[in-house]
Structures are given as C-alpha cells and as structure tokens.
C-alpha cells in the first residue's frame, strides 16, 4: 500500500493507542484466533491424501497437465463412492522434509491448476461429481511459475469450475490461503472444517504490509476474520464442520468420517437438482458474495 | 495476494506546472506536457499511470459516457483497522481521486461502437478489488449481456482489498462467473492491462478475456516481485513480469502503445462483433429462432428491456 | 513421422528353448521363462515387447474374444517399391506374425466387463499405421458406441506406414474423428502405451484417451531419438522419451507394470463406467428421454441394433 | 524399419535391378516430381504472412498459448473478410537467416499448436470461420518440445478441429510435412496449391530409412506420391489450385488472388450448410480416408 499524503501523524498515534487498548480487552478472543491458525497449520493435521486414505480405499491417482509437468502439490483422481464414481482433487502438503520439498509445501505451480482443470473436464464428460479439498499457503511465488502463467492458470481453473455441469463440493481442510486456495473453491457447496482458515492473505504478510512489522501477525489475524466461524458470518461458506475433540490432528479417521458424512449429505441434495438449476444456484451464490453500501443500505 | 507489489506512486494531484522526472529516461516532464501526451513520456515512450477518468476521456467518444452503479460504496464489512480505520482510508481515497471506488463502470461509444467500459484506478487504494469492484464488474457484465454490447476492462490493480478480508478474495470467483455469463451470450470481452495489474485481478477476469492487450512496460504478475525475491532469495530478471516478457511467454495477445490503443481496440472489437453477427445470422432455417443482434431495433429492444429490469437490477439478485 | 525410431527387435518366433539376453540386466532368459512372466524379466522387471495375440490372451477373459474386421488387408495403394515391393513386405509380416495387420480389434470381457479392445503389434512392420489400422480403429470405436462398451487401445508403433504415403498420414485425422465420436457418446476410452509408441499413433488416438496408462520403460515420443540427435547435434538424456520422463512431464496418467495391468485397467474402466451410469441416470424429469446404459436389457438391445446394422457397417460409410 | 529375417539377397538384387530399369523409363516424370518439391520449398515462395499481406489488409495478429510461450513458427489472428470476420492460422517460415531462426524454419513446438487451438476455440465461440495455411517441414524434433508434449499437442489440435462448429478451410501452400502439417489440416475443405507437396515423410528421410541412403531422395519422392495431382488422385484433398505462370514465387499477389477466390468459393458453399450437417460431412470425409482390401474388393 502506498503511503498516502495528508496523514497527520499525531492524530494517528492517538487513534492507534485507543484501538490497541480496545484490542487488549479482547486478548482472549485474539488468542483463540491464533490457536486456530496454529491448528490449521499443524504438522499432524490430516492432509488431502489422509482423507483420501480414509474415505476412498479404491482411489486411482491420475497425473499430469498434458502440457508441462505433474505437480505434486495438487493430487487428483477417481474414487468409488456411494456406489458410483467421484473425482477427488486437493492440495497436498508433505509431512517430512523430503515430502515437503516434493510437494513444494502444498504451493501449486500453474501445472497443478492445469491438472485440476483436466480432471474436472474428464469428470464433467462422464457426469462424475467433483470433490475438492483445499489446503495451501497459496500458489507458489516463483519466477518460472509466473512465466508459465500462474495468474492465468488460476483464473482458468475458476472459469472451468463455473462451467461444470456436475455437482461440486469443496472442503477447506486446513489452510485456505488466498487465490491459490480459491482456485479449487468455486463450488456448489463450500464447507470448512472448524479449525481451518480461509484468508485473502496470510496474517504475517498482512502485518508486514499494513503494520510494516510481521511481528504483528496476531493483530492481523484478529482483524482479518479468517476462522471458520468468522468466515461463515460473512456468508462466504455454506457450513462449518465440527472436528473431533481436540482437533482433526488427533483423530484422522474421525475427521475423515465427518467430512464423508458432510460430502454425502451435500451431494445428495445437489444431485436432486437439475444440472441447469444447480448451475443457476451456483452463479446466484457467487453473485451475492460481497458486502457494500448502496442508496444508504448495506447489502450482503 | 499481491498488494505487496512495489510501485512508485506519482502524485497525480500536484499543482499544474509540477515537473516530474521520467523513470525511463530521467528527463523532467511538466504536467502539461504529460497530459498532452496521454501520460506517455514524449522522449522515451515510458507509460505513466493514467487515472480512470482520464482513461475514459481517452477511449470514449466525447459526451457518450454514462456511468453504471456509481453510487456503490464500500461498507467496511470487517470494521477493519490497522494503523488507521479502513473507512478513513476510503474517505481519503475518495477525496484524493474524486472516485467512489477503484473501478468505474459505464456505457459509452468508442469510435461510434457501443461498448460497456470498466476502468480501474491504481490511485484508489492501489486499485485493489473489494466488494464494490466485484459488484460493479458484475453489473457491467450484466449490461453488456442485456444490450449485447462488448465489454472492455482496463485493469490496474495491486490485487485483492485486504481490508475486506475473505470477501475481497471471493470477488475473484464472482467476476469469473460474470465472465462466464458473457461467454454464454456470447458478447466479446477484451481486457487492457496497464501498469501494474497483479494478484487477484490478474488471476480472475483480467486473464479471462477473449483478447488480452497490454500497455508497454506494464508489470503483470500474480505474486509481487518482492514476495518472489524473498521466496527464491535471488534477484529477479530485469524484465520480470513485464508485458514484454508476458508476450514472449504466451500470456497476452499483444502490446499496444497508448496512442494507438483506441484504434486497435475498435479493430479488435469490430472483428469479434463481426464474428458474433455471423454466428447469429439465421443462415439456416433451424436456427432462425436464435436471438439476433445489431441493428437499431435490437438495440432499442435491449434498452427497453434493460430499463424495465432496472429496479430489480439495482438490488442484489 | 517416426519410423526412424531405433528399436531392438527381439525375434518372437524363435524355437522354444531359445535363450535371450535381457537388455535390462543382461541375464539369459529362456523363452519358456519369459512366456510365463508375460515377457517381463523376472530378475530386473524389464518389459519385453508382447505380441498382439499374447496381449489379448493376457487381458481378455478366456474364450470371450471376438475379432472385428479381421478380413481387412492392405491394398498397396501406391504400388510402393523400395528395396522390395510393399506387397511382399506385407506378405512376409503376415507369415511371420500370423496377423493380417499391425492391429487386431475385437470385443471381449475383461474381468467380466464388456470391452472393445484394439491391440497393436510392433512385429508387424514396426506397428506402423496405414489404412487398415485406421479403418480397424474406426470400426472398433463404432462398435464401442453401438454397444456402449468402453474402448481400450494397446499401442505399439513406429508411426505412420510410409509405404502408404499420404494415406497413412491421414489415418491420424481419421482416428481422431473416431475418438471424438466416442467422446460424444460418451464411452470411456483408455489407452495403454507400450514400448515403443511413437510418431503418428502417439500424435493421434494414443494421446487422446480419457486415461493414459503406460508400461514401465516404454519409449513414447513423437520424433525418434535418432532424428532428434541429428537435429540438435547432441546426445540425448538417458531417460529421453521414456514413460517415466513422460509421467513427470505431465503427459501420461500412470505407469503400471504388466502383471498389474489387467486389474488396474478394470478399476479405471469401472470408475469411468460408474460415472457414465450416473450421468445418464434420469435423476431429473427433463432428461429422462436420454438413452440409458448398462443392465442386461440395454446390452441386448445394443447387440440387436448392431447386428441389424452389420451389413451396412462392413462397408465404408 | 527392422531388417526382417528370411530375406534372400540374390532374389532381391534381381528385383531391384528390374525395378530400377522401370524407373529409368519414367525419368522424365521423376524429374517433374523433384521440380515440384523444389518449388514447394523455394525460398521466394509466398509464406503465410505473404498471403495474409495480400488477402487481409486489416489482419490483427494474436499471440500466445496462455501457457508457455508464443511460437513464431505458427502465426494466427483475426481478419476482416467478405464483410465479416475470419480466423487465419498458418505455419510461418522465415526468409532471411534471422527470420528463419526466429520462425524455427517453420517447425512448430507444442506451444504453436496450443496457440492454434486457442485461436480456433475463440473463433468457434463467436461463429468465426477458420482458415489455415499449411507450410512446414514438420513439427520440431527437439528434446524440450518432446517433453512439453509435442505428440499430445498435435493430437489435441486435430481433436479441436474435429469439434469446431464453424467452417474450416485449409490450404497447403508449400511444404505439407507429416504430422506437423496435418495438425492444421483436419478441415471441411483441404485445398492444395499446384506446386505444393503433402507427405507423410520427407523424401530425404524416407530414402535414408528405406534405401539406407538419403541420396536416393529422388527415388523416394517418386514413389511417395506427394505432389498435388498425385495426392488428389488418392482423394486426400478436395481440390488443386493452379498457380500463376512459372509458380507462386513469381507472383505473390497473383497466388494470393487465386487462394482468396478459392477460399470465398468454399466458404460460401460451407456456410450454406447447417453446422450439424457440415460436421457430419467433415466426419464422413475423414472416415473415408484410406484404401484397403475387404472381401476381395479394394475400397476407397
Ligand atoms: Zn522518458
Ligand atoms: Zn532383466
């Protein structure tokens, strides 16, 4: 953000002091927010392949964008489910150092998004519903990734999802970080696990930009409203899924069971709709996203 | 998102007569000189940023601009407060730029061609996309579909509007849906990328256009250069993310200098329109029921329909 | 095209008891040993080529194979003559392989799943694609659409059949059209790439499948390694064009060893079939008129229809 | 081609000697074939951009595959034509050394074919007919091009053309070399300039493989049947377009005029058909490609 002219420093300092005092009162809330962020990023938290392991025993992974590479930061494939087939696609982090490197810390490059598009179109061709799991700090910020069209790969994935005739259910299972996360999130139903986060920017980066101090990440986290309950209040997601006692990392199977039930529930509802009607509702939902003022009214 | 793009902000509100040094050739240029040359350095061709109103004046035929959704304002949905409240930042941006938001939208004629035009302004909070930008884009797209006009989007953005949190992120999905509706119509959609277009705007509608035009030297990247440098711990190539690099990497269709932009834009729109006319012409019997376009009657019908729907359309669907 | 691929041809018609040295581990393997292990080296896993008949025996449930278009033969349309006449080369290939062409096609059951299966044989003139291969593929696709069976193509090819000149090139376009007809149905189409699959076959139907499976170590490239070496005047990377390199470069879905191939293939087909069933199930009223699939009745109807059309279908449309 | 067992050298030599004598009789025909090949490759022969220059004054070039690069070996863009719009796509060779290098001698990499697909889909969206010009020795044989999916890029372009609802006219203007040429040639009408060639393999490579001697290129050329009249006899193309006296290289404007008239003619015929009917005919035509024996009959 540029520093704008006309700022009177003395007034500002008074305001900040006041605001900090207010925040002091809500320190407990603040702590709760940061706890959730730590849970969302917990090294033992179940990742996409953990959910797949518990939910879809016959999973068949499909690879490649047919163009440049197979990006291990996004996995996808076919699974048997409720007596039929489902296409499962999700960000994948690694648990040990080797896996983290191979998975690029769950940060996809353009070929990851292009693989996702390819699999979605394959699913659409055969009337296979799409299920995505979102768990990434964000798309990979690298020179080569930019050169190969990181932005265009994300926008094309969004457009691809908007166009699918099949039902789409997305679950944010951990970190829903910025555009790299949203790219798998243009779904008929977007669900969020209790201890996951969904944010336009990481609290650290936000603090670095706005407070010029990444140490203020706690403050940024508080103000960004990125926890599942806060995001739900903004009507950006459709439901929050409770986690097993203590958090998903304590009970992978239990977490997978909760996700599976929610998926079944939502798919049943979505499949009862005519595809055209389902798409209309998808568009109406994203059309409503946002809160603004108009003719003196606040609309959302 | 890429609000972290570092861009030199040249004050656009300085008193006339203020001289500015060109980042391209270091030559001092007077405000009057710059204004006359559409904010392009007459010496080296460096493209300075252009405000949204100036851009409209440059592209739209004189007196044809009618703004859409001008009354929309941010509602500060998160009651966001960093070093200053978001509401205050907005007020200041309004005061400084004379704009209500980082995007203005409207209908106009460009070389006599009816067009819906949306223009972003980087001076308004870094051209960031929040709820209002998303909604304005949707209404512009709606108008384009209703009247069967093409839509032109002039982009300039640091990315998502952090101060609206997750709501700003979702504007990427919202504008994408709007693009798809235009695709279905189909109405032509052309984007013009100017310095800088980054983050969530580049990763949504800006790169989904039928034809993507960029001004020379514009920075076009999803992540900002500083973020990438921090990640890869190396300095970036000189042409990193520039329009010229994007062109050779296949990401955009063409680079057009500002003084040729209006003409080239109309040529592209004309070509795409010509195609639509061809597609919808009932050359064969079975398709005769499909809606036509063009011609005074179709235009008039579109307008009447749009007016009839106006009250509904001003509220959220 | 890539007939220039250099591949070691191991004689498949040697007397039983002939021993062969494994290119992977140099170990001597007896013909009986190889046959038992599906032509895979029991020591290092090197995949030797497999003849078309052996491939059918390996994939199809015993006694379920019914060949399609077995009577098609090359017509030597160019009266091609190099060091020997094309017609003589064909006769010799027929004699040596017991096949009428480089591809056999048929219906069969794979783990009880009705399937149309086409298999190429590299021993028949380098698995090259001429008019007969193209026509057989088209008829196989036609059968798949008619019966609503999935189609599986086991590929092994040096490219186009030079001796049929431009006609062989056009088989790429022809088989592509056949793939599109399957897409429209839709019936699932899976390709299995074996060593080597190159040139015009790789650049047409082989890479247009819904799911692309490869055997380990298979050479998959459009141009042959020798041609590329001559062009770039450098030696190639060790893994050039191999299945493993193709996998990491995003060109194929998976690599499956031969002994797991049948099981994996049925899983993939089952998944895609499950999807089709779901797509065509009249869950909603408006779509109830759309043709269903699966179930004994649908199968029977398909067969009757196919038989009724048979005389017409055996001639060119 | 493998050397097959069971070949008796003496017989062979006798046959070859006989055959060579036959060929000697047709030396004049042979010379005519090679002349055509030289004309097809003539350095002054009009290239795609030359035809564009003469046929479409308002041509707007569009760039990029939105994925990896802009390949200068294939050019494409929008042009005004007969009072409406047409999408023009063609292989592009370079005339001087710098241009040849930049255009990679007209040998496309995967991104060239992907750009072509993108432009075709754009045309299809707006009902714009597609016009392709074919002039390439073949797709580029390089390691990186293979790694980025040269084969898949070609097959996907063929599939893309098969699927277009708009009319497609292709003209072979120079060298129609193998799969790299065919990739732009799955059209409703395929026309061929008189002195152009269309072949599955270059005569030089063919000779190197079959005669083990690339010096036998003349012999290979003769037997491959790659001239416009020979290709027409095989019913692979729809028409041969006569060239200006002495060849297209002597009169670019004249050649362009001939191509333009043929394009108009064919487009008019194609546009009179319902899109569905047009596609049916396209499929029927490619289905008929090939000559084979069946039940004692030779079918073509
Ligand atoms: Zn300058
Ligand atoms: Zn071995």
Q: Which residue has the tokens 């070039």?
A: D61
3-state secondary structure of C188: coil
> CB neighbours (10 Å) of residue A8?
8
Backbone angles phi, psi at A225, to 5 degrees: 55, 70
DSSP alpha helix (H) spans, chain B: 31-36, 52-59, 86-97, 131-147, 165-184, 199-202, 225-232, 243-248, 258-280, 295-314
Whether chain A has a CB inside 8 Å of the CB on D66: the answer is: yes
- Partners of A156 on chain B (C-beta within 8 Å) are 207-208
Higher pLDDT pick, B79 / A2: B79
Q: What is the dihedral of CA A25, A176, B179, D90, to 10 degrees?
A: 150
* Preceding omega of B186 cis (within 30 degrees of 0): yes
- The distance of Cα B20 from the centroid of its chain, to the nearest Å, equals 25
Bridge partners of residue B197, in order along the sequence: B157, B220
Instruction: Encode pLDDT of B109-160 as tens digits.
Output: 999 999 999 999 999 999 999 999 999 999 999 999 999 999 999 999 999 9
Chain A residue nearest residue C278, CA to CA: A127
Ligand 2: centre distance to CA C46 (Å): 5
Structure tokens at C229: 């070496």
Whether chain A has a CB inside 8 Å of the CB on B63: the answer is: no
Whether chain C has a CB inside 8 Å of the CB on A111: the answer is: yes
- Partners of A67 on chain D (C-beta within 8 Å) are 67-68, 110, 114, 148-149, 152
Give me chain D's average pLDDT, please.
Answer: 91
d(CA C77, CA C29): 42
Q: Do D160 and D182 meet the contact criterion of CB atoms below 8 Å apart? A: no
**CA neighbor of C268 nearest in space, from A71, B245, D37, A59:** A59
pLDDT for res D8: 54
Contact D158 C92 (CB under 8 A): no
3-state secondary structure of A188: coil
Task: Say whether pLDDT at B276 is over 70.
Answer: no
Task: Say whether pLDDT at C248 is over 90.
Answer: yes
pTM of the prediction? Answer: 0.90
Backbone angles phi, psi at D130, to 5 degrees: -110, 135
Instruction: Encode pLDDT of A121-144 as tens digits.
Output: 999 999 999 999 999 999 999 999
A296: left (phi over 0), alpha (psi -120 to 50) or beta: left
Instruction: Enumerate residues 6+ apart whose C-beta is below 8 A from B239.
Output: B245
Mutation site for D-interface testing, chosen from C70, C103, C153, C170 by largest number of D Cβ within 10 Å = C170
Higher pLDDT pick, A21 / A19: A19
Contact D66 A110 (CB under 8 A): no
Determine what percent of chain A is predicted with pLDDT higher than 90: 80
Structure tokens at D45: 């022969």
Contact B272 D126 (CB under 8 A): yes
Determine what percent of chain C is predicted with pLDDT higher than 90: 75
Contact D210 C83 (CB under 8 A): yes
Structure tokens at A249: 């990392």
Q: Where are the domains of chain D?
A: 43-286
pLDDT for res A82: 82
Contact A68 D156 (CB under 8 A): no
Higher pLDDT pick, A227 / A2: A227
- Partners of D69 on chain B (C-beta within 8 Å) are 248-250
**CA neighbor of B135 nearest in space, from A290, D32, D14:** A290
Task: Say whether pLDDT at B315 is over 90.
Answer: no
pLDDT for res D13: 59
Structure tokens at C261: 């191939």
Contact D286 C241 (CB under 8 A): no
Whether chain B has a CB inside 8 Å of the CB on A178: the answer is: yes
Mutation site for D-interface testing, chosen from C172, C184, C193 by largest number of D Cβ within 10 Å = C172
Q: Do D1 and D206 meet the contact criterion of CB atoms below 8 Å apart? A: no
Structure tokens at A189: 């139903």
Q: Smallest CA–CA separation between A164 and chain B, in Å?
A: 11
Element (H, E) at C270: helix C258-280
Structure tokens at C310: 């048979």
pLDDT for res A263: 97
Mutation site for A-interface testing, chosen from C207, C251, C253 by largest number of A Cβ within 10 Å = C253
d(CA B195, CA A163): 30
- Interface C:D, Cβ pairs < 8 A: 231
- Interface A:D, Cβ pairs < 8 A: 24
Ligand 2: centre distance to CA C48 (Å): 9
Backbone angles phi, psi at C44, to 5 degrees: -115, -5
Mean pLDDT within A97-104: 96
Task: Say whether pLDDT at D294 is over 70.
Answer: yes
Contact A272 C283 (CB under 8 A): yes
> Which chains touch B (3+ CB pairs under 8 A)?
A, D
Task: Say whether pLDDT at B297 is over 70.
Answer: no
Cβ within 8 Å of D, B 225-284: 247-254, 264, 267-268, 270-272, 274-280, 283-284
Instruction: Enumerate residues 6+ apart whose C-beta is below 8 A from D15.
Output: C84, C85
Chain D residue nearest residue C70, CA to CA: D294
Q: Smallest CA–CA separation between C72 and chain D, in Å?
A: 5
Ligand 1: centre distance to CA A71 (Å): 42
Instruction: Encode pLDDT of A241-279 as tens digits.
Output: 999 999 999 999 999 999 999 999 999 999 999 999 999
Give me chain C's average pLDDT, please.
Answer: 85
3-state secondary structure of D180: helix
Mean pLDDT within D83-105: 95
The residue count of chain C comes to: 317
Ligand 2: centre distance to CA C253 (Å): 25
pLDDT for res A298: 73
User: What one-character DSSP code corresponds to residue C160?
Assistant: B
Cβ within 8 Å of A, B 178-207: 178-181, 199-200, 202-207
pLDDT for res A81: 86
pLDDT for res D17: 57
Cβ within 8 Å of C, D 48-77: none
**CA neighbor of A176 nearest in space, from B314, C177, B172, B64:** B172
Q: Smallest CA–CA separation between A161 and chain B, in Å?
A: 9
Question: Strands, DSSP E only, in chain A?
Answer: 60-61, 74-81, 84-91, 130-136, 168-177, 189-193, 197-199, 239-241, 292-294, 297-299
Ligand 2: centre distance to CA D52 (Å): 57
Contact C271 A115 (CB under 8 A): no
d(CA B207, CA B266): 19
> CB neighbours (10 Å) of residue C227?
21
ipTM of the complex: 0.91
Mean pLDDT within B184-196: 97
CA distances from B164 to A225, B63, C88, D153 (A): 9, 35, 77, 42
Chain B residue nearest residue D70, CA to CA: B250
- Is domain D43-286 annotated with CATH 3.90.550.10? no
Task: Say whether pLDDT at B287 is over 70.
Answer: no
Cβ-based burial of C21 (10 A; exposed 0-12, middle 13-18, buried ≥19): exposed
pLDDT for res C231: 81
Mutation site for A-interface testing, chosen from D66, D113, D118, D145 by largest number of A Cβ within 10 Å = D66
> Which chains touch D (3+ CB pairs under 8 A)?
A, B, C
Mean pLDDT within B285-314: 37
Mean pLDDT within A195-224: 90
Write the DSSP assignment of D74-122 as a string of letters.
EEEEEEEETTEEEEEEEE---SSHHHHHHTGGG---HHHHHHHHHHHHH
Higher pLDDT pick, D129 / C7: D129
- Partners of C191 on chain D (C-beta within 8 Å) are none
pLDDT for res D11: 61
pLDDT for res D26: 53
Cβ-based burial of A81 (10 A; exposed 0-12, middle 13-18, buried ≥19): buried
d(CA C86, CA B238): 59
Cross-chain CB nearest to C3 (options D147, D155, D209)? D209
d(CA D110, CA B278): 31
State the pLDDT confidence band at C305, using cuts at 50, 70 and 90: very low
Instruction: Kindly identify the ligand whose nearest atom is closest to the C-alpha of C22.
Output: 2
Contact B220 A151 (CB under 8 A): yes
Mean pLDDT within D264-293: 96
Ligand 2: centre distance to CA C43 (Å): 5
Contact C284 A65 (CB under 8 A): no
Instruction: Enumerate residues 6+ apart whose C-beta is below 8 A from D160.
Output: D116, D117, D120, D121
- Partners of C268 on chain A (C-beta within 8 Å) are 60, 78
Chain A residue nearest residue D150, CA to CA: A67
Element (H, E) at C169: helix C165-184
Question: Strands, DSSP E only, in A140-260?
Answer: 168-177, 189-193, 197-199, 239-241
Task: Say whether pLDDT at B302 is over 80.
Answer: no
Whether chain B has a CB inside 8 Å of the CB on A159: the answer is: yes
pLDDT for res C298: 37
CATH value of B50-314 in 3.30.200.20, 3.40.50.150, 3.90.226.10, 3.40.47.10:
3.90.226.10
Backbone angles phi, psi at A30, to 5 degrees: -55, -50
Task: Say whether pLDDT at D86 is over 70.
Answer: yes
Instruction: Encode pLDDT of C59-82 as tens digits.
Output: 999 999 999 999 999 999 999 988
d(CA C155, CA C214): 9
pLDDT for res B1: 41
Mean pLDDT within A61-80: 98
- Classify each residue of D245-263 as buried b or exposed e, where b means 16 or more C-beta atoms within 10 Å of its C-beta: eebbbebbeebbebbbebb
State the pLDDT confidence band at D20, using cuts at 50, 70 and 90: low
């Amino acid at each position: 953000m540029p520093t704008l002219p006309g700022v009177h420093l003395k007034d500002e300092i008074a305001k900040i002091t006041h605001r900090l005092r207010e925040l002091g009162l809500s320190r407990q809330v603040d702590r709760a927010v940061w706890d959730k962020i730590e849970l969302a990023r917990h090294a033992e938290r179940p990742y996409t392949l953990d959910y797949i392991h518990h939910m879809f025993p016959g999973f068949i992974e499909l690879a490649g964008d047919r163009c440049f590479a197979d990006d291990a930061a996004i996995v996808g494939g076919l699974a048997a489910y409720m007596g039929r087939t489902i296409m499962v696609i999700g960000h994948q982090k690694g648990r040990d150092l080797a896996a983290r490197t191979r998975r690029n810390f769950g940060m996809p490059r353009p070929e990851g998004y292009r693989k996702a598009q390819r699999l979605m179109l394959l699913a659409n061709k055969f009337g296979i519903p799409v299920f995505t799991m979102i768990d990434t700090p964000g798309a990979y910020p690298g020179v080569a990734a930019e050169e190969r069209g990181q932005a265009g790969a994300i926008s094309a994935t969004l457009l691809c999802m908007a166009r699918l005739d099949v039902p789409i259910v997305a679950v944010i299972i951990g970190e829903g970080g910025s555009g790299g996360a949203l790219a798998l999130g243009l779904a008929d139903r977007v669900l969020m696990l209790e201890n996951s986060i969904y944010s336009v920017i990481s609290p650290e980066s936000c603090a670095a930009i706005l407070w010029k101090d990444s140490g203020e990440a706690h403050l940024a986290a508080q103000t960004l409203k990125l926890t599942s309950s806060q995001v739900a209040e903004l009507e950006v997601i459709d439901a929050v899924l409770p986690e097993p006692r203590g958090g998903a990392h304590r009970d992978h199977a239990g977490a997978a069971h909760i996700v599976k039930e929610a998926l079944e529930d939502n798919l049943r509802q979505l499949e009862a709709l005519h595809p055209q009607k389902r798409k209309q509702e998808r568009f109406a939902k994203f059309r409503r996203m946002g809160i603004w003022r108009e003719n003196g009214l606040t609309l959302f | 998102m890429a609000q972290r793009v570092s861009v030199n902000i040249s004050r656009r509100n300085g008193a006339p007569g203020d001289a500015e040094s060109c980042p391209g050739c270091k030559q001092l240029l007077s405000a009057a000189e710059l204004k006359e040359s559409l904010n392009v350095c007459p010496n080296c061709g460096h493209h300075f940023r252009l405000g949204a109103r100036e851009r409209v004046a440059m592209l739209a035929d004189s007196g044809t601009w009618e703004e859409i959704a001008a009354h929309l304002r941010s509602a500060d949905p998160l009651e966001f407060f960093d070093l200053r409240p978001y509401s205050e930042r907005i007020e200041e941006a309004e005061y400084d730029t004379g704009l209500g938001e980082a995007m203005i939208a409207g209908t106009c004629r460009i070389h006599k061609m009816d067009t819906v035009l949306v223009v972003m302004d980087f001076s308004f909070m870094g051209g960031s996309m929040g709820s209002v930008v998303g909604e304005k884009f949707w209404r512009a797209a709606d108008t384009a579909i209703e009247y069967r006009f093409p839509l032109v989007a002039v982009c300039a953005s640091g990315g998502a509007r952090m101060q609206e949190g997750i709501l700003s992120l979702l504007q990427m999905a919202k504008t994408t849906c709007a693009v798809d509706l235009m695709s279905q119509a189909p109405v032509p959609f052309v984007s013009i990328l100017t310095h800088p277009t980054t983050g969530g705007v580049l990763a949504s509608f800006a790169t989904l256009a039928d034809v993507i035009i960029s001004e020379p030297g514009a920075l076009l990247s999803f992540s900002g250069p500083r973020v990438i440098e921090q990640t890869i711990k190396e300095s970036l190539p000189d042409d990193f993310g520039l329009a010229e690099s994007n062109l050779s990497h296949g990401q955009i269709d063409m680079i057009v200098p500002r003084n040729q932009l209006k003409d080239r834009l109309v040529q592209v729109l004309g070509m795409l329109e010509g195609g639509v006319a061809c597609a919808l012409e009932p050359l064969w019997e079975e398709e005769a029921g499909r809606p036509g376009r063009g011609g005074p009657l179709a235009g008039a019908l579109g307008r009447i329909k749009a007016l009839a729907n106006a009250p509904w359309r001003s509220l959220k669907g």
